[in-house]
Amino acid sequence: MRIGRMGYGRNIAAICFALAAVAISATPAQAAKKIKDKESEVAMADAFRSTANAAKSALASGDMSTANSQIVGLQPTNALEKYVTASLKFQYAERRNDPQAIRRALTDMLESGAAPEAQVPYLRYLAGYYSYYLGEHNDAIAQVNYARQLGYTPVETTIILADANIKKKKQAEGLEFLEQAVAQQQASGQAVPEAWFDRAISLSYQNKKWADVAKWTQQKLALYPTAGNWRSGLINFQAAPGLDHQAQLDLYRLQSATGAIASERDVQAYAALAAKSGYEAEAMSVIEAARSNGKLTATEGVTSALLKSISVKAKKDIAALPAQVKKATAAKDGSAAASAGDAYFSLSQFPLAVAQYQLALSKGGVDAARVNSRLGVALARSGDLPGAKAALAQTSGNWATVANFWTVWVNQQAQRTASLGTPVTTNPTL
């Protein structure tokens, strides 16, 4: 429906968070087709019926001037006549794209006492819809809740309750309704608009609700796994306080795995963090890959200086790995094995990393959440997707959040493998 003359040029999607289109069973623009009077059930005065029929004919032909004069001339004396008059006013207002008049007509229809019982829930919804449309959020909530109590509960009612509460600064309640709307949409087999997730992520981010940022971002990525969405989602979450460098590094690794390293800044940040965390060879690989695919030039200053400073140590660390593995095998606890696993992981030698992580967990004395998280990723990159999901599920704290992001990716690899038989790559993709 277009209401441009009044500056209300918004459809149902625009009303509901300015979101993408929502599958609505019947929009307010179709209301005139759904709302029926009861002329066949109760007698109306002949003069009233004649004027009402003239108004209907004028509306049908688009003669708005005549329709208006006929409607103004109606003098209802009973409940049915009041309902018919209000219904004609509704149709006239709808044709003129006048939301204020539509809302008044709906009130008259409901208050007439003659609205068809089966139509009352939908009329209540329409009243709530237009109250929301006009910024009257308290009445919108009341009317839509009334409609839902009467059995009219499609997803658009939930969305209006979500946004009306958010606009009343009741963001927790609004997000609860939005979560219900997502569940309704999925249960109906309909696609959940991407913008619903964006709204929830934005509100959660503004309120520093980092667990909610992660939850909503992961739901969005499960359905809309574009490289751009992966990049923005992971970068947003990296602003969360309390993430240590190792957890942040694994988010950069996921960004790489999803093809979401998009800029020179991304490459610089990933490479610098890898080097800072003791994985100089990984930092070198990141820089060299970015140069080969054009994301970096060979003369770019920051990474050129970093590459020069880490190249010697990277070679020494690789040479020292066999001795590190031997030490891990003889150690009383799993710390050395976990470190060896991390080293192999950083070199993309994932099967070897798996063996060391499993050894570390069997010996104990390690951060099990971190080891399980990386074991899950290494298993996935080695092709064992069920094992990966099982390991990722054994995490806790911030590592559980990191693992949940990786689980989204693992699920997508499983779907791709099932549909196309495509093997999981074992090399990071910048």
Instruction: Tell how far CA 157 is from the center of its chain.
Output: 18
Tokens 């709307």 belong to 181
One fold for 4-195 and 242-420: yes
Each residue's pLDDT, cut to its tens digit, for the chain (430 residues) gives 222 323 333 333 333 333 222 222 334 545 444 444 444 445 789 999 999 999 999 999 999 999 999 999 999 999 999 999 999 999 999 999 999 999 999 999 999 999 999 999 999 999 999 999 999 999 999 999 999 999 999 999 999 999 999 999 999 999 999 999 999 999 999 999 999 999 999 999 999 999 999 999 999 999 999 999 999 999 999 999 989 999 999 999 999 999 999 999 999 999 999 999 999 999 999 999 999 998 888 888 998 999 999 999 999 999 999 999 999 999 999 999 999 999 999 999 999 999 999 999 999 999 999 999 999 999 999 999 999 999 999 999 999 999 999 999 999 999 998 887 665 554 455 5
> Which CATH architecture fits 242-420?
Alpha Horseshoe (1.25)
Torsions phi, psi for 375 (to 5 deg)? -60, -45
pTM of the full structure = 0.84
Which of the 8 DSSP states describes residue 422? P
Q: What dihedral angle (degrees, nearest 10) is formed by the CA atoms of 46, 51, 55, 57?
A: 60
**For position 34, what pLDDT does the model report?**
47
**For position 419, what pLDDT does the model report?**
82
Cβ 156 vs Cβ 143: under 8 Å: no
- Nearest Cα to Cα of residue 101 among 121, 111, 87: 87
Identity at 318, one-letter amino acid code:
I
- List Cβ neighbours of 288 (8 Å cut-off, separation of 6 or more): none
**For position 26, what pLDDT does the model report?**
39
Which of the 8 DSSP states describes residue 78? S
User: What burial class does residue 241 get, using C-beta atoms within 10 Å of its C-beta: 0-12 exposed, 13-18 middle, 19+ buried?
Assistant: exposed
**For position 6, what pLDDT does the model report?**
32
Domains of the chain, by residue range, sit at 4-195, 242-420
CA distance to 206, 299, 405, per residue, from 400 (Å): 22, 39, 9
Tokens 């990386």 belong to 374
**For position 140, what pLDDT does the model report?**
98
Sign of the CA dihedral with 376 first, then 378, 381, and 383 last: negative
Cα angle 341, 343, 217; round to 5 = 80
**Distance between CA 185 and CA 201 in Å, rounded?**
18
**For position 111, what pLDDT does the model report?**
97
**Distance between CA 21 and CA 229 in Å, rounded?**
19
Max Cα distance, the chain (Å): 103
How is domain 4-195 classified at the CATH fold level?
Answer: 1.25.40
**Distance between CA 262 and CA 345 in Å, rounded?**
22
**For position 299, what pLDDT does the model report?**
86
Sign of the CA dihedral with 178 first, then 182, 188, and 189 last: positive
How many CB atoms within 10 Å of residue 352? Answer: 18
Sign of the CA dihedral with 382 first, then 385, 389, and 390 last: negative
Cβ 201 vs Cβ 178: under 8 Å: no
Integer-rounded Cα Rg, in Å, for the chain is: 31
**For position 43, what pLDDT does the model report?**
76
